[in-house]
Amino acid sequence: MRWDFASVFDNTDALLVGAAGTLRIFAICLVLGLSLGLIVGLGRYSRNRWLHIPATIFVEFFRNTPVLVQILWFYFALPILLPFQISPLAAASLGISLNSAAFSAEIYRGGIQSIETGQWDGARALGMRWGQAMRRIILPQALKRMLPALTNRAIEIFKMSTLASAVAYVELLQQGKLIASLNYNPIEAYTAVAVIFFVFLWPLVQFSYFLERRLRRDE
Amino acid sequence: MTILKVTGLTKRFGNTDVLRGIDLEVARGERIAILGASGSGKSTLLRCLNFMERPGGGTIALDGQVLGREGRAGERSYPESELIQVRQRVGMVFQQFNLFPHMTAIGNVMEGLRTVRGMPKPEAEARAAKELARVGLAEKADTYPAHLSGGQKQRVAIARALAMDPEMLLFDEPTSALDPELVGEVLAVILALAEEGRTMLLVTHELGFAYHVATRVIFLADGAIHEQGPPDEVLKNPKKDRTRAFLASHKQFSF
């Protein structure tokens, strides 16, 4: 057995296109997933049942169905039910974002609940509205506690982006498959894909450590 | 001149009646010390006055204006916008300080001015610096609460309340969470505010301080006002047995 990465390097362009695709879907799902997660998390935190119950249904539904099934469903089933086509990017983004929203919602809820009621008292005693207290007092403190868990979510989203290859969205794994099938070099192709993922994710994790340290400057 | 008028105030937590009909009229410039055993309802009373707790029944009037609206069943509802106005006029200082740990001392004092009043930053900063200087903490402006002593934290919390120009101040056991050697610095700040003629209600266990600072002492028992009057009467010559017993238990080991 001989390792020959030449066939991979010959396809650098394809991998670059794949990397761009991965970064694009990662950025979309990170923003959509974590911001929708905050909204759902606030719903889960709310004592108003008209907010709490729908948020709970959302979380339970998307936590307990596989992302891959959701992506396939959005891509193949939804266009049968609705009169429009859906792109591979849109289908995959929907599946990954909704799943991430469900998981991050629980992180937000837990983070917000972990803040002492005295902080609410302090904020309300100054005359703050609920939203002001949440934005200025509660969320900044909660965010600090949630950061490790949210970083895990971000890493998870990055890796879940490979599921988009199931609907032929052009991302790293999809391009790896392509290279492997054209050159009959699965060992090198998939090793290269794995290494590229590591090269992207490792700095991301280091950045989150830096953020954690920065947020701890008030201690 | 009456600033606050409480009529028939009640509050229940679950099956417990914490307040059973409190009537209280506070004149401008009055300093009222509220005493009572734990569970007598004194903190709840204070927290109802700026609506940290919603009153169960009865009415609260600020400057002659009865707060809230009466519902169909006779219960009162309190729209948030009204409570926000009230809380800006009635400042509160807590036993546990409740400083915002992610903001510096001056950040804490500015927060209400910036977020609630929408004051521009330079103006809010100047005002906050003035309030910090008033409580003797000008040099701690850029220090985070985690690096302040308990006494300093409470003084920042007082500055934070003062920055909003409250017409009335509520102190909820402001020195109970402090080490004994730190109590004095906080009481000194409160005393200075008293000498300015500010209206204040103070729940405290510091009987000596209550005696010196209060214009009126209220003794609360079982969620009702059991006895009230000038400190000389209530603290030195209480008329009721329960007041006497309470004071005796507090003075048990004094010399």
CB contact under 8 A, B144 and A219: yes
CATH architecture of B2-64+78-100+167-251: 3-Layer(aba) Sandwich (3.40)
User: Which residue's structure tokens are 């940290």?
Assistant: B52
* Tokens matching residue B238: 């209480």
Chain A hits for B140, CB-CB cut-off 8 Å, are: none
Question: Nearest Cβ partner of A122 from B50, B88, B100?
Answer: B100
Tell me what pLDDT residue B186 has: 94
Tally C-beta pairs within 8 A across A and B.
68
Distance CA A214, CA B112 (A): 25
Residue of A nearest to B86 (CA): A127
| Closest Cα in chain B, distance from residue A50 (Å) | 19
Q: Which of A4, A11, A1, A2 is nearest to A182 (CA)?
A: A11
Residue A180 lies in a domain: no
Q: Distance from first CA to last CA of chain A, Å, rounded?
A: 55
Could you tell me the pTM of the whole model?
Answer: 0.89
Tell me what pLDDT residue B47 has: 95
A15 close to B (CB below 8 A): no
Distance CA B255, CA B248 (A): 13
pLDDT digits (tens, 9 = 90+) for B164-204: 999 999 999 999 999 999 999 999 999 999 999 999 999 99
pLDDT digits (tens, 9 = 90+) for B112-140: 999 999 999 999 999 999 999 999 999 99
Are B50 and B90 a contacting pair, CB within 8 Å?
A: yes
Residue A101 lies in a domain: yes
Residue A7 lies in a domain: no
Instruction: Give the count of beta carbons closer than 10 Å to the beta carbon of residue A113.
Output: 12
Tell me what pLDDT residue B75 has: 80
Q: Tell me the pLDDT band of A217, cut-offs 50, 70 and 90.
A: confident
Are B164 and B88 a contacting pair, CB within 8 Å?
A: yes
Q: What does the pLDDT average to over A144-159?
A: 92
Residue A9 lies in a domain: no
| Closest Cα in chain B, distance from residue A137 (Å) | 7
Distance CA B201, CA B203 (A): 7
B96 close to A (CB below 8 A): yes
Which conformational region is residue B173 in: left (phi greater than 0), alpha (psi within -120 to 50 degrees), or beta? left
Percent of chain A with pLDDT over 90: 77
Residue of A nearest to B85 (CA): A127
Distance CA B156, CA B135 (A): 7
A212 close to B (CB below 8 A): no
The answer on pLDDT for A1 being more than 70 is no
Domain count, chain A: 1
Distance CA A215, CA A209 (A): 10
A138 close to B (CB below 8 A): no
A216 close to B (CB below 8 A): no
Are B21 and B222 a contacting pair, CB within 8 Å?
A: no
Mutation to test the B interface, candidates A119, A126, A130, most B Cβ within 10 Å: A126
Own/partner contacts of A63-67, CB < 8 Å, gap of 24 or more, are: A63/A99, A63/A102, A63/A103, A63/A106, A67/A95, A67/A96, A67/A99, A67/A160, A67/A163
Q: Which of B100, B94, B234 is nearest to B158 (CA)?
A: B94
Are B9 and B22 a contacting pair, CB within 8 Å?
A: yes
CATH of the domain at A163: 1.10.3720.10
The answer on pLDDT for A68 being more than 70 is yes
pLDDT digits (tens, 9 = 90+) for A7-60: 888 888 999 999 999 999 999 999 999 999 999 999 999 999 999 999 999 999
CA angle A159, A161, A165 (to 5 degrees): 120
Question: Nearest Cβ partner of A137 from B87, B100, B161?
Answer: B100
User: Which residue's structure tokens are 């891509």?
Assistant: A75
Q: Which of A158, A152, A141, A114 is nearest to A25 (CA)?
A: A158
* Mean confidence (pLDDT) of chain A: 93
Question: Nearest Cβ partner of B164 from A121, A126, A140?
Answer: A126
Residue A127 lies in a domain: yes
| Closest Cα in chain A, distance from residue B53 (Å) | 10
Q: What does the pLDDT average to over A186-203?
A: 92
Question: Nearest Cβ partner of A118 from B98, B112, B161?
Answer: B98
Residue A143 lies in a domain: yes
Tell me what pLDDT residue B194 has: 93
Mark the ranges of chain B whose per-residue pLDDT is less than 70. 254-255
| Closest Cα in chain B, distance from residue A140 (Å) | 8
Q: Tell me the pLDDT band of A125, cut-offs 50, 70 and 90.
A: very high
The domain segmentation of chain B, as residue ranges, is 2-64+78-100+167-251
